Structure 1
Amino acid sequence: MRVLLIKALLHFFALLPLSIIYSIATLLGQIVARWQTLRITQVTRTNIRFTFPNLSPAAQDILVKQSLIETCKAFSELGALWLWQTDSVLRLVQEVSGETVLQQALQGGKGVILLTPHLGAWELAGLYASSRYPLTALYRPPKLAGLHDLIHAARERAGGHFVPTDKTGVRALFKALHKGEVVGILPDQVPSEEGSGIFAPFFGISAYTMVLVSRLARKTGATVIFTYAERLPKRLGFHIHFLPAPEDIAADNLEIAVAALNQGVEQCVLGNPAQYQWSYKRFKRRPEGAALVY
């Protein structure tokens, strides 16, 4: 039943122009922001309080409201991003910055690790990259198995190859990098497997962070680049950003390397803090003896 309802909502939103989608999402976000007992509101408020302690309570409240509106936009726009024709979606890209960094890195022949945080329209960032470069990306299947085929087809329709987040997927990443291609990873998910992450600072808070990116970069010599698709609400389109990762992301010392990974995510987030997915429990896993955040 849940799968049918979600698919119906996706198809409904896919029928609407982006202006109407965002108007609905803004209204929903405003309602959610006032509903203090909702989990999404509580998690967003907790994350912003911990990561931006220097903001006044009033400024934190404003950011919480903005974040919840952007989160509603992120979910409402999925119908368009997944179900519209590929060319129609790509026409929403109105500006691109830093892509020469990616193009120059590919000329080195060692491949590129493209990192897409949960910022802005990350689905569009992946679609844009796969439409222009040979892309192999890790893919964690949805909890609702009935959505797998829809999501997988949507993400691969521009030519990308999405592989599972297991050993076979990691081998596929190594193979693609050895061919000098691009691989895509979401760098800010809490690793699910034991030993696949270590704790490193993220906005000053100890966060369990994946080690895969740094190990891939160190073993292959691939260039690491961050990318995200920023919403441009006044223009109803998107600005794709490409940013070089901190140099230490491939350091021999894994703690230094993983800390650099989080610094790179922070750099992206600070470009537009409201569009980061603060509703995600980024700090759900804590160091031994540390107090729970949620």
Structure 2
Amino acid sequence: MSEPTTWHTLSLPAKLLAVLFWLLRWLPMPLIRLKGAVLGELMYWLIPGRRKVGLINLRLCFPDWPEARRRATLREHYRVFCTCLLAYGKLWFGPEKLVRNLVRREGYEHYLAVKDQPVILLAPHFLGLDYGGILHTADHWGASVYTSTHDNPFDQLLRLGRSRFGAPLLIRRNDGIRPIVKALKQGAPLYYLPDQDLGRKESIFVPFFGIQTATVPGLPRLAQLGKAVVVPMVTTLEGNHFVTRYYPAWTDYPGDDVEADTRRMNAFIEQRIRDFPAQYYWLHRRFKTRPRGEPDLYGRKGPQD
């Protein structure tokens, strides 16, 4: 478990960065979107390494698109990314009323229908995920699993912001599955982010956009052990607001086949990406771990061993 982050535990650089975000909270959203667009264009051109990763990901996932469309999508991705970044000032330091006006909910009844039983909120890595997650904690205490070992100022502020409406139960991934199942059985909804490459040891290979992709099969296992229902939850930036969409709880899940259940999860995420292609986090090396013998997809030489 992890102790909650408070203002007093922040480092001095994190406190100075917090002042900047506190000032940003006063900017109206149209101006934040304008500044985010300008900053996003600069980042697209000034960070070629990440631009390369994003373009490779889009080429792999959308091979039928013309290259111009992939580049336009990635540029929009950077603009949305920077808008979300600048809007953290409102999310972290604005009054609760401002946050509730900033983030709108759709399909919230799907969560309310099952909230009295163990629930896993399936939250793929869309750029607005913190906005939906933090608003959810304003009404429902819960738990989440984290893997980051970084302690840079921005990560400190992320943890502080995620605790602003009540400290969630933070569970380290290397603590294993037992504390997660215990939290579910105690009634803490689990905010679960499933779609990162965590290496061969923790993963199985299942299709994602037709590519064999190292995927953690934790969702069906946690749902089974915790007797939990899965409610997907995706947050996107639309106009000057964020929209959190809750989807109906999955039926007949998990089944008897962990691989099939993990494929179902990837297929759901893939469809949501097709709905909002510029708002998925494309800068992560999602296809880094390859089946043995396959070449690296990001330009490093030699096959995976």
What interval of TM-score do these two structures reach, taking the shorter chain for normalisation?
A: 0.7 to 0.9
Contact kept, 8 Å, 2:39 with 2:79, in 1: the verdict is: yes
Partner residue in 1 for 2:272 = 268
Contact kept, 8 Å, 2:53 with 2:283, in 1: the verdict is: yes
CA shift in 2, pair 1:184/1:48, >3 Å: same
Counting only pairs closer than 5 Å after superposition, residues 128-147 of structure 1 correspond to structure 2 as: 128-141=135-148, 143-147=150-154
Does residue 256 of structure 2 align to residue 252 of structure 1?
A: yes
Contiguous gaps of at least 5 residues in structure 1: none
Compute the displacement of 1:206 (Å).
2.0
Look up the SS of the partner of 1:91 in the other structure: helix
Does residue 207 of structure 2 align to residue 201 of structure 1?
A: yes
In the TM superposition, what whole-angstrom CA distance separates every residue of 1:20-51 from its partner, at most 9, and x where no partner exists? 2211110122233345x612211111111110
User: Counterparts of 1:132 and 1:256 in 2: how far apart (Å)?
Assistant: 33
In the TM superposition, what whole-angstrom CA distance separates every residue of 1:31-79 from its partner, at most 9, and x where no partner exists? 33345x6122111111111101111222222212212211222322223
Counting only pairs closer than 5 Å after superposition, residues 217-232 of structure 1 correspond to structure 2 as: 217-232=223-238
Does residue 298 of structure 2 align to residue 289 of structure 1?
A: no
Look up the SS of the partner of 2:270 in the other structure: helix
Letter in 1 for 2:34: S
Look up the SS of the partner of 1:32 in the other structure: helix
User: Counterparts of 2:176 and 2:26 in 1: how far apart (Å)?
Assistant: 34
Partner residue in 1 for 2:111 = 102
Contiguous gaps of at least 5 residues in structure 2: 1-11, 299-305
User: Counterparts of 2:229 and 2:173 in 1: how far apart (Å)?
Assistant: 22
Q: What's the RMSD between the two structures over aligned residues?
A: 2.5
Q: For 1:165, which of 160, 172, 180 is the aligned residue?
A: 172
Partner residue in 2 for 1:117 = 124
Q: TM-score, normalised by structure 2?
A: 0.84
Does residue 178 of structure 2 align to residue 174 of structure 1?
A: no
User: Counterparts of 2:267 and 2:140 in 1: how far apart (Å)?
Assistant: 26
Look up the SS of the partner of 1:77 in the other structure: helix
Partner residue in 1 for 2:35 = 24
User: Counterparts of 2:269 and 2:16 in 1: how far apart (Å)?
Assistant: 33
Q: For 1:61, which of 71, 78, 81 is the aligned residue?
A: 71
User: Counterparts of 1:274 and 1:162 in 2: how far apart (Å)?
Assistant: 31
CA shift in 2, pair 1:200/1:6, >3 Å: farther
